[in-house]
Structure 1
Amino acid sequence: MSIELPIVNGKISTKALTYSNYSTPATFETIEIPATVAPTELLVKVKAASINPVDCILKNLSYTYLGSKKKVLGGDFSGVVIKAGESLEYKEGDEIYGDILSPMKSVGSFSEYVLFDASKATVLHKIPKGMSFSQAAALPIASATGFQSLNQYAGDLEGKNVLILGAGTSVGVNTIQFAKNHFKAANVVVTCSASSALKAKSLGADLIIDYTKGESAKVASTLEFVKENGLFDVIVDCVRDNSFFDITDAVLKNQKDNGAFVRVSGSKVFDYKNPKFSELLPSFRTLKYSFGAKFGCHAKFVEVFLHRDDNYGKVVEKLWNEKKFDIIIDTEYDALTQHKEAFDKVASGKAKGKVVCTF
């Protein structure tokens, strides 16, 4: 396979979605990137890029005092390898997906071509057979975070009880599938709204707790499950539900029994359109619980930060080939002409799945 590159004066000209700081709109403009690759670098023709809430946060928290150098939006992508460094296992023509999120840097996935150091990508894998570029681009950050959240459990989750707070989120829908189809949990209990219940059930959730019915109903349903089925082995919190700290000790196993409370990034109270730095800080209740956990007073408390885990891609490919993995996409947009609508959809918090832009 051969793609004619737009090379001018030894550089590749590529349209990229750039911004300078929070006050400047994101616009596509032509930038130049090197046409050669270092031993650990990949040059990729991007086919699709998906948007995560963190993309909105980074853009809107890019204050002027941090500098006004042009930055490229995005981290999640899928595409075709054009050139591969000599030390890499990839070759020209390989179809890949990954995460190259680089806060405040000139490298981002919303670009027709990207050049990046493959050794620094937090997610990087070949696309499984039969998976579209849009589906692959929807995976990296949300899906890998869900997988790694369950990996925080110190033992074997087969036959165990898992509680997922925020199953309607992109991380949540992935966590359900990994918990049920890979980790083989006996009971996967989730909290979500009624509008997300059917999807959560179809992905493998055994019990749906509708958090919109109020705090007392949520607590009662959780305690009733524990009474009938035993304590949870792990809780994965996708929405920073601080109210659950009130009953965690009553529904989750302690550290001696490998109990783990795992929290991922994101907050149901975060304003992605106008974020404040203070919203990134842990709440007092979180600090209190995590401090107590360090001294063995509660279950193990873990804050998940995405890192490279090559086993993740193998698991996704296996489940995909077995038709046990569903990729939820809310909307697809054209990257060059509809990027504003796409980012607005994510910032609204109303997307029921990933928002993907195609090139």
Structure 2
Amino acid sequence: MKAAVFNQYGSPKVLQLQEVEKPTPKDNEVLVKIHATAVNDYDWSMIRGKPFLYRLMFGLLRPRKNIPGMELSGVVVSTGKKMTSFKAGDAVYGDISEHGFGSFAEYICIDEKALTLKPNNMSFEEAASIPHAAALALQGLVDIGQIQNGLKILINGAGGGVGTLGLQLAKLYCAEVTGVDSGDKLEMMKSIGFDYTIDYQTEDFTKSGQRYDLILDTKTNRSTFSYLRSLKPNGKYVTVGGKLPHLLHALFFRRVIHLFSRKRVHIIGLKTNKDLNYINELFESEKIKPIIDGPYPLSEAAIAVQRFGKGVHRGKVVISI
């Protein structure tokens, strides 16, 4: 089978399309013919070996896992002896990161717990773009953010996968939503329903004087105290990921902040594939629809990853296989 493989750390150019052995499912696994996958920060960091912390997980000098990819959609080809959830021919999708990586390939064997059934009216490209971003947005806004009707919300990094789905989820609660991203994404963001847009290249929203009930941050590119300036007295700041030094800053200071302020700082510990049945219901009722950048063929996986890394993508970067 064909797969996008990297055997050393470096720029996305180290990804090469190669022939590798087709896997065989273990007792609790399914063999899936992958139809689409998506690019995530894990892929960008794994391939480059940066931040260095990733090398402790994936290999100090060379990658132990050399096929990236943590989201997929596809069709079950065969199942292991103890597999009970799916049968051959089932269309499935999911975030597989708790059970392994390797979706930049034509086939994968993965634990059945990593997958859920794909709705019939959801394309494979849409399905690949949903599980990770939707879970982050839903858990950030609803589970942790405890969104209520009519709140004033800001999403930092609003033009990507989490931000575009986060907007649609927030609008279910009649929220006023401001999106922050680069200027070339603002027209797209306005077209999908953001009430206000801010070009971070020309304006720092933390210095504007505006205050928000809830900030959902996909970038975490400032100190925690900068974000606090933009919160109302009982406001919540929720980060779903971003730059490691700022994430560590939030982790260290959030308990101190709680002692002296009613403002709250939260870092999401993602529960993968949680509430995908609810997301499916929203999709089938046309209340959410992912924004797709691409799809790109597997032969252009390096281009897709580079596009993600530069932050120029709109919505979710998808690779069709």
For 2:158, the equivalent position in structure 1 comes to 167
| 3-state secondary structure, aligned to 2:20 | strand
Change beyond 3 A, Cα 1:329–1:34: closer
The question of whether the paired residues in 1 share the 8 Å contact of 2:251 and 2:267 is answered with no
| 3-state secondary structure, aligned to 1:213 | coil
Change beyond 3 A, Cα 1:209–1:238: same
**Aligned residue runs from structure 1 range 114-129, under 5 A:** 114-119=108-113, 121=114, 124-129=115-120
The question of whether the paired residues in 2 share the 8 Å contact of 1:45 and 1:80 is answered with yes
Specify which of 126, 148, 153 is matched with residue 135 of structure 1: 126
TM-superposed deviation, 1:201: 2.9
Change beyond 3 A, Cα 1:60–1:155: closer
For 2:277, the equivalent position in structure 1 comes to 314
Specify which of 224, 227, 250 is matched with residue 286 of structure 1: 250
For 1:53, the equivalent position in structure 2 comes to 41
TM-superposed deviation, 1:33: 5.1
For 1:145, the equivalent position in structure 2 comes to 136
The question of whether the paired residues in 1 share the 8 Å contact of 2:222 and 2:246 is answered with no
Specify which of 289, 307, 310 is matched with residue 348 of structure 1: 310
| 3-state secondary structure, aligned to 1:212 | coil
For 1:331, the equivalent position in structure 2 comes to 294
For 1:234, the equivalent position in structure 2 comes to 214
For 1:209, the equivalent position in structure 2 comes to 198
For 1:100, the equivalent position in structure 2 comes to 96
Specify which of 246, 250, 275 is matched with residue 226 of structure 2: 246
Structure 1 ranges of 4+ moved more than 6 A = none
Letter of the structure 2 residue corresponding to residue 49 of structure 1: T
Which of structures 1 and 2 has the larger relative contact order (alpha carbons within 8 angstroms, sep 6+)?
2
TM-superposed deviation, 1:343: 2.1
- Cα root mean square deviation, aligned: 2.9
Change beyond 3 A, Cα 1:65–1:314: closer
Q: Deviations over 1:287-309 (max 9, x none)?
A: 56424234253522111232134
For 1:262, the equivalent position in structure 2 comes to 238
| 3-state secondary structure, aligned to 1:32 | coil
CA separation in 2, counterparts of 1:192 and 1:80? 35
Does residue 107 of structure 2 align to residue 113 of structure 1? yes
Letter of the structure 2 residue corresponding to residue 356 of structure 1: V
Q: Deviations over 1:45-88 (max 9, x none)?
A: 00111111320101211656355545211111110011235453
Change beyond 3 A, Cα 1:253–1:94: farther
TM-score (norm 2): 0.84
Change beyond 3 A, Cα 1:211–1:56: closer
Specify which of 59, 63, 68 is matched with residue 73 of structure 1: 68
CA separation in 1, counterparts of 2:151 and 2:89? 42
Q: Deviations over 1:101-133 (max 9, x none)?
A: 369x6x4101111001133x3xx3322222211
The question of whether the paired residues in 2 share the 8 Å contact of 1:249 and 1:299 is answered with no
TM-superposed deviation, 1:100: 1.7
CA separation in 2, counterparts of 1:156 and 1:168? 20
CA separation in 2, counterparts of 1:315 and 1:31? 37
TM-score (norm 1): 0.76
CA separation in 1, counterparts of 2:92 and 2:254? 38
CA separation in 2, counterparts of 1:253 and 1:92? 54
CA separation in 2, counterparts of 1:165 and 1:340? 26
How many residues align? The count is 311
The question of whether the paired residues in 2 share the 8 Å contact of 1:78 and 1:98 is answered with yes
Letter of the structure 1 residue corresponding to residue 135 of structure 2: A
Q: Which runs of 5+ in 2 are unaligned?
A: none
TM-superposed deviation, 1:146: 1.3
Aligned identity (percent) is: 30
Letter of the structure 1 residue corresponding to residue 104 of structure 2: F
CA separation in 2, counterparts of 1:238 and 1:68? 26
Structure showing greater radius of gyration is: 1
Letter of the structure 2 residue corresponding to residue 236 of structure 1: L
TM-superposed deviation, 1:285: 5.5
CA separation in 2, counterparts of 1:179 and 1:109? 30
The question of whether the paired residues in 1 share the 8 Å contact of 2:224 and 2:249 is answered with no
**Aligned residue runs from structure 1 range 294-305, under 5 A:** 294-305=258-269
The question of whether the paired residues in 2 share the 8 Å contact of 1:33 and 1:115 is answered with no
TM-superposed deviation, 1:22: 0.6
CA separation in 2, counterparts of 1:102 and 1:17? 20
Q: Deviations over 1:293-336 (max 9, x none)?
A: 3425352211123213432x22322222222222111222211x
